[in-house]
Amino acid sequence: MISPDFKADLRVILQDARDTLLWKLEGLSEYDIRRPMTPTGTNLLGLVKHLAGAEGFYFGTVFGRPVSAPELWIAGDAEPNADLWATPDETRERIVGGYRRVCAHSDATIEALPLDAVGRIPGERGNDITLHRTLVHMIYETSRHAGHADVVRELVDGAVGQRVGGDNMAPGDASWWVEHRERVECAAKEAAGQRP
């Protein structure tokens, strides 16, 4: 019989999402990793910077194990969205390296504490939170932003896929995807009562 190792399982899932996020930057220019691809400014390097701040906050500050990380605008005094984009002087190496460093600190926190360890979210209504709940939250948060990175990367250069060596996409060449997209568009128009 296999004994479950819940902490190890959660760590594997979190690391997979981290790896996917960083993979989305590979092979792109400075401009392409920074340029806003949505009306709200979503960009690849900003997603990494934000998640460095989130991991630093949740696995550092919350559990009394502070680490230097970008300040989350929603949890501090930073200007709105400061953690969601990179200034010209914030290099790719600095942000990605910082993310890796903060993740290593998070991993040390995860290793050092039991899943039922309780941390405290600072603030006026400071809430207690277990390491287990924090891991689940950061898996959600990282996976959500890795999904954003999927879409942004596809908008930047058409590259798609879930992870290195396993794109998890239906087989088809460029013409197949053009036909598929047109089929989806026609279905949307028909469902809306428009002429395809």
- pLDDT, residue 10, reads 96
Residue of 34 and 196 predicted with greater confidence: 34
Report pLDDT for 47. 98
- Any bridge partners for residue 163, and if so which? 166
Q: How far apart are CA 41 and CA 33, in angstroms?
A: 12
Q: Is 121 or 177 the better-scoring residue by pLDDT?
A: 121
Interval 57-111: pLDDT, tens: 999 999 999 999 988 877 777 788 889 999 999 999 999 999 999 999 999 999 9
48-71 pLDDT tens trace: 999 999 999 999 999 999 999 988
- What is the model's pTM? 0.90
Reported in sequence order, the residue ranges of the chain that DSSP labels E, i.e. its strands, are 118-120, 128-130
| Residues 196, 190 contacting (CB under 8 angstroms) | yes
Neighbours of 15 (CB within 10 A): 14
* Cα 124 to Cα 194: distance, rounded to the nearest angstrom: 51
Nearest C-alpha neighbor of 110 from the set 2, 14, 3:
14
- Residue 174: pLDDT band by 50, 70, 90 thresholds? confident
Radius of gyration of the chain (CA): 19
So what's the pLDDT on residue 166?
64
H-helix or E-strand containing 95? Answer: helix 92-112
Q: Which two tokens stand for residue 112?
A: 């050092």
CA distance 52 to 68: 9
Contacts by residues 178-185 (CB-CB < 8 Å, ≥ 24 positions apart) = none
Number of helical H runs and strand E runs in the chain:
6, 2
**Percent of the chain whose predicted confidence (pLDDT) is above 70:** 95
CB-based contact 107:67 (threshold 8 Å): no
